[in-house]
Amino acid sequence: MTYFVTGATGFIGRHLVSNLLKRKGTVHVLVRKGSQKKLDALVDRMGWDRKRIVAVMGDLAKPNLGLNADKVSELKGKIKHFFHLAAIYDLAADAASQVTANVEGTRNAVHLAEAINAGCVHYASSIAVAGLYSGTFREDMFDEAEDLIHPYFRTKHDAEKVLREECKRPYRIYRPGMVVGHSQTGEIDKIDGPYYFFTALKKLRELMPPWMPMIGIEGGRVNLVPVDFVADAMDHIAHKPGLNGGCFHLTDPDPRRIGEVLNLFARVGHAPEMTMRLDARMFSFVPFAVRATLANLPPVKRFSTMLLRDLGIPKEVMGLITYPTRFDSRETERALKGSGIKVPALDSYAWRLWDYWERHLDPAMFVDHSLKGKVKGKVVMITGGSSGIGKAAALKVAAAGATTIIVARGEEELFATRDEIIAAGGNCHAYTCDLADMASCDALVEKVVAAHGGVDILVNNAGRSIRRSIELSYDRFHDFERTMQLN
């Protein structure tokens, strides 16, 4: 038996190929030009039999996946199962790239499958084809999809439509839920789905004791499935006779609400749990126009954008908090009956997902905490930067790659420091300003914003001290006034 697989180096694909290699036959793997080393490394890591893996150079965006006529002729009539898994699985990806990979890529795969007379085309779709359908979406439903407002939803729906309308070979469709790590190892290759909230849970753990009661959201139901279940189910159904033309939801028949899922991960991550969870729909009585107006107020937008950025949560993910769709999977359950393949309870492997994330994917592990990592490429302003601590700081941040702005009242020392930094290879700009004079400060801000677009880091170093005891300053009251104004 011979297989052809696109997306074999992807997360689901590599586990599917491992399953296919447990059977007899050769597995042809579509590989982009220049990615042979990546495939070789994967073969070694997964322990695949090199003699049974055949790399086929191609391109998802080209007709017949970039295979020339000779290669098409060579494969004709030899491929029993054609698996198309290659796609962009990313809510944050731009629309154009998703159309190219998801829609046009599927069309090119379908045409190649026809050209080589593939026995059956197995297409990895997604529950995203349902859009934001309100209610239970069955496996025999497609056109009933609602609110395909996100490019990922739209392109996955359009891609499945291409298969349904243009594929002249027998086919089977698989719609996995939200795929998480392996239930036995916790392994996953990127942050996605519930993982986006792990950083927030970790920050809560650092700020609060685990017994501290928290208020959170209930949210809609989120359908999580481990990658090993998806690969096992796809492999089993693909080889079961009499199922051509079928569509199979590889989903959890009993999905949990988002609030429950977050609490479960909070528990295994030793973070405080949400003892009171509010249904986000309770705010639906507020007119949409009012909610939209409030959300688009500049201060609100700035704060929410900053918060989501710091937590590493794409704004697209927040829009799915009240996800309204449930998925019926009776056809899948019927096809898997007697195989022993079923969705494991999230409680049984959630700790493995958290552990793998914390050991391998936690963004905090990859932050460069050196001075260079913090300031390189940023605009750093240092007041009182012509001497003392200010000058020393300016020399260091400039050497670390920052665009350094130094501010002081006296020109001579200020420009001498600027020249010293530039001579040492730094990028430095100097501005004179009397920081005790608000008009002078306003003029400085105007100049800096016009020249540099703003400041990333402000070091407010300038200050004044009274170099004599208070007892000797009774006749110099302006010393007190200036110190208060400046400091």
Q: For residue range 78-92, what is the model confidence (pLDDT) as tens digits?
A: 999 999 999 987 777
Burial class (CB within 10 angstroms; exposed 0-12, middle 13-18, buried 19+) of 245: exposed
**Residue 194 is which amino acid?**
P
Q: Looking at residue 431, what is its pLDDT?
A: 94
- Output DSSP code: residue 100: I
Find out whether 126 and 242 touch, Cβ atoms under 8 Å: no
Q: Looking at residue 465, what is its pLDDT?
A: 64
Work out the widest C-alpha separation in the chain, in whole angstroms. 103
Q: Looking at residue 186, what is its pLDDT?
A: 95
Q: DSSP string spanning 363-420? A: GGGG---SHHHHHTTSEEEEETTTSHHHHHHHHHHHHTT-EEEEEES-HHHHHHHHHH
Two tokens at 7?
């997306």
For β-strands 256-257 and 221-222, DSSP reports them as antiparallel
Q: Within 10 Å of residue 465's Cβ, how many Cβ atoms?
A: 8
Find out whether 2 and 78 touch, Cβ atoms under 8 Å: yes
Tokens 């309308």, located at residue: 165
- Tens-of-pLDDT digits for all 487 residues of the chain? 799 999 999 999 999 999 999 999 999 999 988 888 889 999 998 999 999 999 999 999 999 999 999 999 999 999 999 999 999 877 777 888 889 889 999 999 999 999 999 999 999 999 999 999 999 999 999 999 998 988 889 999 999 999 999 999 999 999 999 999 999 999 998 888 888 889 888 988 888 887 777 777 777 889 999 999 999 999 999 999 999 999 999 999 999 988 899 999 999 999 888 876 666 555 555 565 655 566 666 766 676 666 666 666 666 676 677 788 999 999 999 999 999 999 999 999 999 999 999 999 988 888 888 899 899 999 999 999 888 999 999 999 999 999 999 999 888 899 999 999 999 999 999 999 988 888 999 999 999 999 999 999 999 988 776 565 666 666 666 666 767 777 7
Q: Looking at residue 332, what is its pLDDT?
A: 97
In whole angstroms, give the CA distance from residue 209 to residue 206.
8
Two tokens at 243?
């199922």
Which residues, in sequence order, are bridge partners of residue 383? 407
In whole angstroms, give the CA distance from residue 175 to residue 164.
14
Two tokens at 64?
């017949």
For β-strands 427-432 and 403-408, DSSP reports them as parallel
In whole angstroms, give the CA distance from residue 462 to residue 40.
58
In a domain, 333, yes or no: no
- Output DSSP code: residue 62: S
Q: Looking at residue 278, what is its pLDDT?
A: 60
Final residue before a domain boundary, out of 143, 176, 209: 176
- Output DSSP code: residue 108: H
- Output DSSP code: residue 358: I
Q: Looking at residue 311, what is its pLDDT?
A: 63
Two tokens at 245?
């033309």
Which residues, in sequence order, are bridge partners of residue 427? 403
In whole angstroms, give the CA distance from residue 444 to residue 435.
9
Final residue before a domain boundary, out of 148, 176, 204: 176
Query: Could you tell me the CATH number of the domain that includes residue 127?
Result: 3.40.50.720
Find out whether 74 and 112 touch, Cβ atoms under 8 Å: no
Contacts of 348 (CB under 8 A, 6+ apart): 183
In a domain, 225, yes or no: no
Q: Is the CA virtual torsion 140, 146, 149, 150 positive or negative?
A: negative
In a domain, 139, yes or no: yes
In a domain, 199, yes or no: no
Burial class (CB within 10 angstroms; exposed 0-12, middle 13-18, buried 19+) of 89: buried
What does the H/E/C string look like for 225-293? EEHHHHHHHHHHHHCCCCCCCCEEEECCCCCEEHHHHHHHHHHHCCCCCEEEEECHHHHHHCCHHHHHH
In whole angstroms, give the CA distance from residue 240 to residue 235.
9
For β-strands 2-6 and 81-84, DSSP reports them as parallel
Two tokens at 198?
């792990």
In whole angstroms, give the CA distance from residue 239 to residue 17.
14
In whole angstroms, give the CA distance from residue 103 to residue 170.
19
Q: Looking at residue 207, what is its pLDDT?
A: 83
In a domain, 33, yes or no: yes
Count of domains for the chain:
2
Final residue before a domain boundary, out of 154, 176, 198: 176
In a domain, 311, yes or no: no
In a domain, 419, yes or no: yes
Find out whether 129 and 156 touch, Cβ atoms under 8 Å: yes
Burial class (CB within 10 angstroms; exposed 0-12, middle 13-18, buried 19+) of 432: middle
In a domain, 423, yes or no: yes
Q: Looking at residue 474, what is its pLDDT?
A: 65
pTM for the model stands at: 0.77
Its domain, for residue 406, covers 371-486
Q: Is the CA virtual torsion 103, 109, 115, 121 positive or negative?
A: negative
What phi and psi values does residue 436 have, to the nearest 5 degrees?
-85, -5
